[in-house]
């Protein structure tokens, strides 16, 4: 686990609890996503993660592991030794990636030297249906992506190339430098992974329902539904884009409850708009059919937050 999960420009002050509080206030007041890092000695680091101005959690990184850490414990851990405080703001997708990593168990590290090795590794993850995350680091880039049953989730990939962030894996392997790839497995208690599963499942349900609606009612009616959903999203300032039968969620929700609230609103709006056009009976059937097509674990996650077909049609 990298000491700085993204090597970006940072403001740093030394030995100041005032600075720590000030940096957290700045993230809250600007409603920004990012990190506040406290270095206590050469091997210990405290990381506080913020999602659009809301703290998602604080963690102690030590000996290649991470655990939840209450910031009130800092004075005990500190013991009067010198420490430094730094802050970095991040795009929401990068913030989500960091949250996943600090709530994961670090696994194997491998070196990738060419495209053949990379393709072989991807095939192995598909065969074993690995779900987790990977970090890729080289001289020119560093980034993360989540993986579901061996398939890279493009919506979760984010890389820092030294100049800025890119929302995709490098288009091809650069043979001039090797990749150090680190594998991470989600902790069972991880809220970040629960939020990802919830978001991924709900977004897939919404997109599939929109596609089915378009097949039944046509593209003109789909455009009307898209417009109504955008109006629903706008006052909340969620970074969720609906375009045709696709949905792109770039928002960093601080809790699973906040994630569930957003998708509950979207599904209620979708169900209502579909009902106006094709009737409630057909709407219920469509939502049910799409729901049953989801993976078992996806349905279970949605049910936990009462995101079920019966809740979104009359």
% of the chain surpassing 70 pLDDT: 90
- pLDDT band at residue 9 using 50, 70 and 90 as cut-offs: very low
Cα angle for residues 183, 198, 134 (degrees, 5° grid): 10
Structure token pair of residue 149: 């049953």
Checking if the pLDDT of 14 tops 70, the result is: no
Among candidates 139, 159, 48, which has minimal Cα distance to 99? 48
Cα angle for residues 110, 115, 121 (degrees, 5° grid): 45
C-alpha–C-alpha distance, residues 191 and 204, integer Å: 20
Chain segment 232-289, per-residue pLDDT in tens: 999 999 999 999 999 999 999 999 999 999 999 999 999 999 999 999 999 999 999 9
Chain segment 119-165, per-residue pLDDT in tens: 899 999 999 999 999 999 888 888 899 999 999 999 999 998 888 89
Among candidates 254, 263, 252, which has minimal Cα distance to 301? 263
Sheet with 11-14: list strands edge to edge.
11-14, 83-89, 34-40, 44-51, 54-62, 65-68
Among candidates 194, 210, 199, which has minimal Cα distance to 287? 210
Q: Quote the mean pLDDT of the chain.
A: 89
| Cβ-contact 217, 278 below 8 angstroms | yes
pLDDT value at residue 135: 93
Q: Tokens 């000030």 label which residue?
A: 22
pLDDT value at residue 18: 79
Residue 149 backbone dihedrals phi, psi, to 5 degrees: 50, 45
Residue 170 vs residue 112, higher pLDDT:
112
pLDDT value at residue 78: 64
Please give the model's pTM, rounded to 2 decimal places. Answer: 0.91
Chain segment 18-58, per-residue pLDDT in tens: 788 889 999 999 999 999 998 877 778 889 999 999 999 99
- pLDDT band at residue 6 using 50, 70 and 90 as cut-offs: low
Checking if the pLDDT of 13 tops 70, the result is: no
For the four alpha carbons of 90, 151, 255 and 71, in that order, the dihedral sign comes to negative
Checking if the pLDDT of 313 tops 70, the result is: no
């Amino acid at each position: 686990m990298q000491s700085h999960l993204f090597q970006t420009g940072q403001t740093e002050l030394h030995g100041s609890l005032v600075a720590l509080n000030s940096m957290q206030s700045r993230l809250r007041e600007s409603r920004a996503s990012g990190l506040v890092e406290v270095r206590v000695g050469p091997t210990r680091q405290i990381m506080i993660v913020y999602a659009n101005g809301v703290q998602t959690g604080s963690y102690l990184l030590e000996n290649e592991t991470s655990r939840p850490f209450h910031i009130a414990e800092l004075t005990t851990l500190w013991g009067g030794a010198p420490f430094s405080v730094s802050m970095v703001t991040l795009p929401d997708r990068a913030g989500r990636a960091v949250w996943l990593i600090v709530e994961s168990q670090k696994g194997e590290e491998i070196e990738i030297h060419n495209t053949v090795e990379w393709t072989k590794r991807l095939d192995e993850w598909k065969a074993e249906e690995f779900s987790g995350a990977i970090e890729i680091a080289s001289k020119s880039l560093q980034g993360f992506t989540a993986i579901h049953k061996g398939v890279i989730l493009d919506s979760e990939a984010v890389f820092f190339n030294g100049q800025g962030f890119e929302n995709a894996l490098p288009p091809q392997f650069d043979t001039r430098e090797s990749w150090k790839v680190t594998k991470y497995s989600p902790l069972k208690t991880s809220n970040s992974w629960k939020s990802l599963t919830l978001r991924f499942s709900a977004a897939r349900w919404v997109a599939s329902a929109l596609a089915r609606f378009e097949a039944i009612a046509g593209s003109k009616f789909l455009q009307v539904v898209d417009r109504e959903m955008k109006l629903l999203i706008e006052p909340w300032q969620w970074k969720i884009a609906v375009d045709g039968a696709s949905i792109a969620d770039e928002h960093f929700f601080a809790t699973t409850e906040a994630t569930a609230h957003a998708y509950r609103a979207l599904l209620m709006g979708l169900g209502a708009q579909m009902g106006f056009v094709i009737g409630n009976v057909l709407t219920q059937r469509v939502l049910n059919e799409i729901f049953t097509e989801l993976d078992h674990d996806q349905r279970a996650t949605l049910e936990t937050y009462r995101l079920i077909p019966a809740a979104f049609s009359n």
